[in-house]
Amino acid sequence: MADSGGGDCCSPRLPDDALFLGLDCSTQSLKATVLDAGLGIVATDSVHFDSDLPPYGTHGGVRRDPAERGRIVSPPLMWAEALDLLLARLRPRADLRRVAAVSGSAQQHGSVYWARGAGAALAALDPAGSLATQLAGAFASPESPVWMDSSSAAQCREVEAAMGGPLQLAALTGCRAHERCTGPQIRKMYQTRPKVYDATERVSLVSSFMASLLVGGYVCIDETDGAGMNIMDIATRQLREDALQATAPNLEERIGKLAPAHAVAGKISPYFVQRFQFASSCLVIQWSGDNPNTLAGLTLSNPGDLAISLGTSDTVFGITDSPEPTLEGNIFPNPVDPKTYMVLLCYKNGSLTREDLRNRYAERSWDMFNRLLEETAPLNGGKMGFYYKEHEILPPLPVGFHRYVVKNLTSGSLDEMVEEVGEFDPPSEVRAIIEGQFLSMRGHAEQCGLPVPPRRIIATGGASSNPTILKIMASIFGCPVYTSQRSDSASLGAALRAAHGWLCNQQDEFVPFSSVYSGRIDRTSLSMKLAVPFGECEGDIELLNNYTLLVRKRLEIEQKLIERFNQRELSGF
Ligand code: ADP
Ligand code: XUL
């Protein structure tokens, strides 16, 4: 194959006629981005779980267990069926025979429990039948706990106690035991559904599950997504014996080995060659988590930059070569640079909670929501809201809405605030949810050692298409906000990682990620655009200083809410 242009004369090149496929199995949908060798977008498509696959009965891609508080699951068979459906949609629009490599992204932490014999079933998939019919019996549990699940608090405390406490666990594995972390989730499965655990041949993350479908056999968990489990040593990137012991018996044989994110997981299986006309030489590159893939898709490489993703979850992350363990954040290896790490904060009440307020106060319309935002003045007259439609991760608080008015910004005392009993008016509610989230992000990012104020923010995810929201983000963080051309940067990142993995394989060694795009970024789908400048308007700095005061107030109120909640839990209410 001929070489494509781009890059400097010495960097390895992608073959001219090759395509690279990136998939993203997120909470609500499975998305695809196909790139050509010049990094132009050839096609994109998606399957929306609720509307395209209604028999699975999901809402927002998940099922909430009415019988168990906090238990939130999705059926892995639905993700498999979505893969067949998405590739069938894509095939007329992209020549899948030219796909040199495919990689992927998936919601982090979710665990899939394969039944005994499932490895053999994967290897024997018949292209005449569908994945859904052939894999219907392949799961020890038809439901996978996902990142939104908060039902594993007891197991989290047990794992932390066994490992020397929450901060020690964070120092060893990259984070304390958050309820969504896979290790405590596996422990819960072992304790509460021992028959399922006994019948489990292999545990995959959602990322390695999807890669296993493509390869037709169990695929390693990648070291980046593996850091979200509480069982991998964050320094050596090996499974930790003590953490495995603290989680469940005979776990190592069920987890398998770990692999770097740029490694080849295998060749695509005959099922996909025959059913969708992939070339048999097409490589499957290790899949990874959606946040690591987003980092790749944004080509985030400057430690002064902050990424904010406003998807189903809201996340804030940056890169560093010397991560400090904290009780709030997660540390993951950088999927495209083995020398650095990403530090991440994750909020459960992201887009779906914003949608809930939009539906209540803005006639279900984002246009109306933006009009209400514009009607209200920055700082919202001191009105501050805490909106937890789901049990929140940051701060760890149960479902509930709380409203306060900060009457005096400069007072150091919480007594200067009055708790509101009722609701605010609709415009204030709408401003309160948007300002409140960015105030919280700024406060917690600073506590986790992320750059505040950042040199710039790169915003992505579904809600980053909303310019009114981005304007408030810039005012609160005190920096310009950039966006990528596409808000689905996780599948774009996966397509880039497919190209990167292909290059590493061709060179037989790790090559810098920048070899994929260097010298041509401005001519490709990777270029960034300035969405909101900062510091050009009179009043920007004064407003920023007031927001700084409000950040402190917000963290104080959060602390008060946590103390109140903990007291209630202790007294059994
Ligand atoms: P996922 O985490 O599933 O990948 P996405 O990044 O695709 O999620 O984001 C989907 C969300 O984007 C939707 O739930 C929706 O609330 C939000 N969204 C889409 N358009 C807008 C908009 N104009 N303003 C605010 N939010 C939006
Ligand atoms: C990150 C996290 C979420 C999911 C959402 O730790 O739990 O961002 O990855 O898909």
Per-residue confidence (pLDDT) for residue 9, from 0 to 100: 54
Asked whether residue 366 is domain-assigned, the answer is: yes
| Ligand 1 atom closest to the CA of 107, numbered from 1 | 2
| pLDDT for res 521 | 83
CA of 312 to the centre of ligand 1 (A): 7
Residue 478 CB less than 6 A away from ligand 1? no
Tell me: pLDDT of 332 over 80.
yes
* Probe residue for ligand 2, chosen from 62, 290, 347, 390 as the CB with the greatest number of ligand atoms within 8 Å: 290
Read off the pLDDT of each residue in 416-444 and give the average, rounded to a whole number. Answer: 91
- What is the reported pLDDT for 348? 97
Ligand 2 pocket, residue 27 CB under 6 Å: yes
Q: Which of 466, 231, 194 minimizes the C-alpha distance to 355? A: 466
Q: What angle do CA 332, 334, 339 make, to 5 degrees?
A: 110
- Residue 72 pLDDT: 98
Instruction: Determine the Cα angle at 206 with ends 458 and 287, to 5°.
Output: 60
Smallest CA separation from ligand 1 atom 7, residue:
462
Distance CA 47, CA 491 (A): 13
Domain assignment of residue 203, yes or no: no
Closest CA to 269 of 181, 336, 309, 210: 210
Ligand 1 atom 11: residue of nearest CA: 462
Pocket test for ligand 2, best of 24, 291, 341 (most atoms within 8 A of CB): 291
Residues 332-348: what's their mean pLDDT? Answer: 97
What is the predicted pLDDT for the residue at 340?
96
Task: Tell me how far apart the alpha carbons of residues 63 and 72 are, in angstroms, rounded to a whole number.
Answer: 6
Residue 6 scores a pLDDT above 60: no
Across 144-181, b (16+ Cβ under 10 Å) vs e yields: bbbbbbbbbbebbebbbeebeebeebbbbbbbbbbbbb
pLDDT digits (tens, 9 = 90+) for 110-122: 999 999 999 999 9
**Does residue 540 sit within a domain?**
yes
12: pLDDT strictly greater than 90: no
pLDDT of residue 10: 60
Assign residue 324 a region: left if phi > 0, alpha if psi is -120 to 50, beta otherwise? beta
Q: Assess whether pLDDT exceeds 60 at residue 183.
A: yes
Has residue 23 got a pLDDT over 70?
Answer: yes
Q: Is residue 567 part of a domain?
A: yes
Mean pLDDT of the chain: 94
Assigned domain for 59 exists: no
Q: Is 366 a pocket residue for ligand 1 (Cβ < 6 Å)?
A: yes
Q: Over 60: is that where the pLDDT of 7 sits?
A: no
The phi and psi torsions of 159 (rounded to 5 degrees) equal: -65, -45
Tell me the mean pLDDT in the region 471-495: 94
Ligand 2 mean position, distance from CA 310 (Å) = 11
Instruction: Tell me: pLDDT of 5 over 60.
Output: no
The predicted pLDDT at position 570 comes to 67
CA distances from 152 to 191, 198, 329 (A): 11, 19, 18
Structural domain for 553, as ranges: 351-483+532-571
To which H or E segment does residue 551 belong? helix 540-570
- What does the pLDDT read at residue 421? 67
**Strand 481-484 vs strand 341-347: parallel, antiparallel, or unpaired?**
unpaired
State the distance from the centre of ligand 1 to the C-alpha of 290, rounded, in angstroms.
Answer: 15
Q: Tell whether the model's pLDDT for residue 8 goes beyond 70.
A: no
Ligand 2 centroid–CA 346 distance in Å is 7
Give how many domains the chain has, as a whole number. Answer: 1
Ligand 2 neighbourhood includes 60 CB (under 6 angstroms): no
Model confidence at 519, in pLDDT bands (50, 70, 90)? confident
To test the ligand 2 pocket, which listed residue (180, 346, 448) has its Cβ within 8 A of the most ligand atoms? 346
pLDDT of 2 reads: 32
109 lines ligand 2 (CB under 6 A): yes
| Chain segment 525-573, per-residue pLDDT in tens | 788 999 999 988 877 899 999 999 999 999 999 999 999 988 887 675 4
What is the whole-number distance in angstroms between the Cα of residue 4 and the centre of ligand 2? 35
Q: What is the pLDDT of residue 408?
A: 82
Q: Which of 27, 46, 351 is the best mutation target for the ligand 1 pocket, counting ligand atoms within 8 Å of the beta carbon and taking the most?
A: 351
CA contacts within 13 A on the Cβ side of 158: 16
Q: What is the CATH number of the domain that holds 548?
A: 3.30.420.40
Residue 66 lies in a domain: no
28 lines ligand 1 (CB under 6 A): yes
Gap from CA of 106 to ligand 2 centroid (Å) = 9
Residue 349 Cα, ligand 2 centroid: separation in angstroms?
Answer: 11
pLDDT number for residue 203: 99
Query: What pLDDT shows up at residue 95?
Result: 98
Question: Is residue 460 in contact with ligand 1, taking CB distance under 6 Å?
Answer: no
| pLDDT (tens digit per residue) in 198-207 | 999 999 999 9
Ligand nearest to the CA of 110: 2
Instruction: Compute φ and ψ for 115, nearest 5 degrees.
Output: -80, 160
With respect to residue 212, please indicate whether it lies within any of the assigned structural domains. no
| Whether pLDDT at 1 is above 70 | no
Q: Would you state the pLDDT for residue 164?
A: 98
313 in contact with ligand 2, CB cutoff 6 A: yes
| 550 CA → ligand 1 middle, Å | 27
Tokens read off for 494: 């996966």
Ligand 2 pocket, 152 CB below 6 A?
A: no
> What separation in Å is there between the alpha carbon of 148 and the centre of ligand 2?
8
Q: Is the model's pLDDT at 58 over the cut of 90?
A: yes
Å from CA of 111 to ligand 2 middle: 13
pLDDT for the residue 90: 98
- Write out 32-83 in H/E/C secondary structure: EEEEECCCCEEEEEEEEHHHHCHHHCCECCEEECCCCCCCEEECHHHHHHHH
pLDDT at 316: 98
- Helix or strand holding residue 273 (H, E): helix 270-276
Q: Is residue 537 part of a domain?
A: yes
CA of 397 to the centre of ligand 1 (A): 23
**How does DSSP assign 235-258, residue by residue?**
TT-SB-HHHHHHH-TT-HHHH--E
The CA dihedral of 522, 528, 532, 536, to the nearest 10 degrees, is -40
Residue pLDDT, tens place only, 35-48? 999 999 999 999 99
